[in-house]
Amino acid sequence: MNLITHVLIGVYIQILCFIFFAFPFNFLLTLLIAFLSHFIVDAFSKITYHTPEPHWDDKFWLSWNIIVRVSGYIAIILFFPYYLGMLFANLPDIWDWVIVRRIQKRRNINGEIDYHHNNFFHRIVDKIREKTLFWLPNWIYEKKAVIPEILIDIALIIGIIFLMI
Ligand SMILES: [Zn+2]
């Protein structure tokens, strides 16, 4: 799923861990659960609008990607004290999409990028999805599939507010 969703999950997990566990378990469990959350959340990305390749000429794709990214950055600033949860909830994306993809791009001589290759953590996500969530519909190219992700994000924001008040 997108940056905003992983950020909100990370924040939610860190708040919960710090409510229920004492030092050092609050820290350790935040790192572990936030990291593992990425695999579960991404396994469900099949029911969200999530094209594997960019569609720069499609205004809907462009707007959606700007919204989920900018809202993600705003959430990072707003919830900065929960940076550990946010960081570990996004670690597989940082590794696969930022670090590995950058190296891969530099190595690519044909100018063609294979978006399915070399995604180390997301291959594990694909396996989890194939083994457990194969029964879910595949909406990655369906524009209406922004709705499930928006609903998840709203639920997370409400959950975070409830934990904070
Ligand atoms: Zn991911």
Q: Distance from the CA of 165 to the center of ligand 1, in angstroms? A: 30
Q: Distance from the CA of 42 to the center of ligand 1, in angstroms? A: 5
Q: Distance from the CA of 49 to the center of ligand 1, in angstroms? A: 13
Cα distances (angstroms) measured from residue 9 to each of 75, 87, 102, 117, 154: 11, 11, 26, 26, 11
160 CB-near residues (< 8 Å, 6+ apart): 8, 11, 12, 15, 79
* Least confident piece of the model among 35-49, 68-82, 115-129, 150-164: 115-129
pLDDT of 119: 77
- Residue among 99, 131, 121 nearest 36 (CA): 121
- Under the banding of pLDDT at 50, 70 and 90, the label for residue 113 is low
Q: What is the pTM of this model?
A: 0.90
Separate counts of helices (H) and strands (E) for the chain: 7, 0
Query: What is the phi/psi pair of residue 146, to 5°?
Result: -70, -25
Helix (H) or strand (E) holding 4: helix 3-20
- Residue 86: both structure tokens together: 């946010």
Q: Distance from the CA of 3 to the center of ligand 1, in angstroms? A: 8
Q: Distance from the CA of 97 to the center of ligand 1, in angstroms? A: 8
Tokens 């396996």 belong to residue:
127
Q: Distance from the CA of 111 to the center of ligand 1, in angstroms? A: 24
Q: Distance from the CA of 110 to the center of ligand 1, in angstroms? A: 26
User: Does 103 score more than 80 pLDDT?
Assistant: no
Query: Prior bond to 24 cis, omega within 30?
Result: yes
16 CB-near residues (< 8 Å, 6+ apart): 163
Rounded-to-integer distance, Cα 2 and Cα 135, Å? 22
User: Does 115 score more than 60 pLDDT?
Assistant: no
The predicted model gives 131-139 an average pLDDT of 95
pLDDT of 108: 61
Q: 42-89 pLDDT, tens per residue?
A: 999 999 999 988 999 999 999 999 999 999 999 999 999 999 999 999
